[in-house]
Amino acid sequence: MRKFGIVVLAFLVTGCTLVLFPDWPSTNPPVIIEITRASATDDPSWMPAITSTPAITLTPSFTPSPYVTLTPVPSDTWEPPRVSATLIIPTLQPRLAARLSFIQMIDANVGWGLRLESRGKLRPGPRVTSLTPWHAEGYILRTTDGGITWQNVTPPNGAYSPGGFFALDANTAWASGNVPCCSDLKTTHTWRTTDGGKTWQPSQPLLIDPIPRFYLPLGMQFIDQNTGWLLAALYAENSGFMTYTLLQTTDAGETWIAINQRLNGCWPAGPVFLDLTTGWYGENCFIGGIVYQGTIETYFSTGGWQLRKTVDGGRTFDETTIVPMPPELLQSDLAGKKIRCHETRLLRVTSEVAGVEWGCNVFSRLERYRYFSFTTDAGRTWNTWRASGNEYFLNATHGWRSFPSGEFQQTTDGGLHWVTLKSVVAWETAQFDFVSEQEGWASVSTSKAIVLLHTTDGGMTWKELSSVIASP
């Protein structure tokens, strides 16, 4: 079973300047908010958007000319309200609907999941803008019966999102909680379990300088039991703008050090590592209204899409992998047109198999081109098609995807051909996870709920699971 982390977020942008928080009056007095334990309710109004975003992604130290350069604007007058960095989230009651927004099954019985609550429900006070896909946060759950019941195995304090969680196997996982602006944050750390979440051990404090007042994990990935990476968004005292830091551990998460603090720019779309040294990183400037225009000629000056690459474990991203340009973008009537192109998602399947979702906006046409490029030989060759937004691959050949129009499809040849298994499904969003070519699960949202589905025939038929929270 492949393991992956998910990385996707957004923030408010005006022009090319990052605007991280609402325009609170500078006269607001500091507020200390303490959260106490309470009973959770099964409130269907929370409904966070599910975004299928596997893997992790890194940001290179160089900035090719087509990419936007963001100029941070420090604020000397704004002093946001403060909140407590420590959070005790409410207890989940037995028999409560599990409502899983993210799942990762290890085998037919054991798996991990996240139940996310809406912005402000667990933690009142200033939060990341609601434009952020992962503005929701919540609980880490684990199943041992194929998804019927889920045990709450959340670490002792904090709330978690997919960018701050990674499961290596049935027993081993790491987690890093969100710390909202503007916390009295002295230190922050990660958690590690080796017994399926029964107990969690904290790491040493993360070595980040300067100490941030806002900390949001964007992606976590481990290659083996010892080596892993953590990408975090930070907001330091008096800086006035967001920065991104890549940390690494080589001792199973006991200690973390910052290896790359030069990742500023658009919102990260990764990173993903294929092995201990090689990985890719992307930036998503589609998010938040960033206005940058280039042309087909400038974006594709090398004849293909330039995907930034590291060969030193993430310390630099000075290399590039060239993804061939889709014929659709070679149309003569696109020559000289103003466009904006960036990555939106990266996916690691194995050390040789990976995918990147990317695309371009053509401003004169108000048209969007979205692509998924798939490699089975570590980036030497690529197969590209129009993206659905939630492609999932079990291995080099078998994958699944769905479209908002209602089509659910499968490929058995690495995306060269897709077969429609169902023409009408009422899934607004879907995140897939398979443990074999026949057995898989899907966390899907409809207009009324988020439900967990199960298939044992490769997706031909699906059964809804009445997933609930198990007794402690």
How much is the pLDDT for 368? 86
Q: Are strands 463-465 and 383-386 parallel, antiparallel or unpaired?
A: unpaired
* Tens of pLDDT, residues 259-281: 998 887 788 888 999 999 999 99
Beta bridge partners of 464: 453
Burial 209-218 (b: 16+ CB within 10 A, else e): eeebbbbbbb
Give the torsion sign (CA, 379, 383, 384, 389): negative
* Tens of pLDDT, residues 18-38: 333 333 333 333 322 232 333
How much is the pLDDT for 185? 63
Burial 433-469 (b: 16+ CB within 10 A, else e): bbbeeebbbbbbbeeeebbbbbbeebbeebeebebbb
pLDDT of 51 higher than 80 = no
Take residue 1 and report the two structure tokens written for it.
């079973």
* Residue 56 DSSP SS3: coil
Q: Cα(first)–Cα(last) distance of the chain, in Å? A: 28
Q: Are strands 408-411 and 399-402 parallel, antiparallel or unpaired?
A: antiparallel
pLDDT of 162 higher than 70 = yes
* Tens of pLDDT, residues 77-117: 334 444 444 566 788 999 999 999 999 999 999 999 999 98
Q: Are 375 and 354 in contact (CB under 8 A)?
A: yes
Report residue 188's pLDDT band, with 50, 70 and 90 as the boundaries. Answer: confident
DSSP structure string for 269-315: ---EESSSS-EEE-EETTGGG----EEHHHHTTTSEEEEEEESSTTS
C-alpha distances in Å from residue 139, one per residue of 44, 203, 217: 16, 19, 15
* Tens of pLDDT, residues 214-266: 788 999 999 999 999 999 988 766 666 778 999 999 999 999 999 998 887 78
Pairwise CA distance, residues 8 & 268, whole Å: 7
Domain coordinates in residue numbering, the chain = 12-24+54-469
How much is the pLDDT for 236? 67
* Tens of pLDDT, residues 322-332: 999 999 998 88
Q: Are 230 and 222 in contact (CB under 8 A)?
A: no
Tokens 């996310």 locate to 116
- My answer on whether omega of the bond before 180 falls inside 30° of 0, hence cis, is no
Give the torsion sign (CA, 34, 39, 41, 42): positive
CATH of domain 12-24+54-469: 2.130.10.10
Beta bridge partners of 356: 346, 373
- Write down the mean pLDDT value for the chain: 80
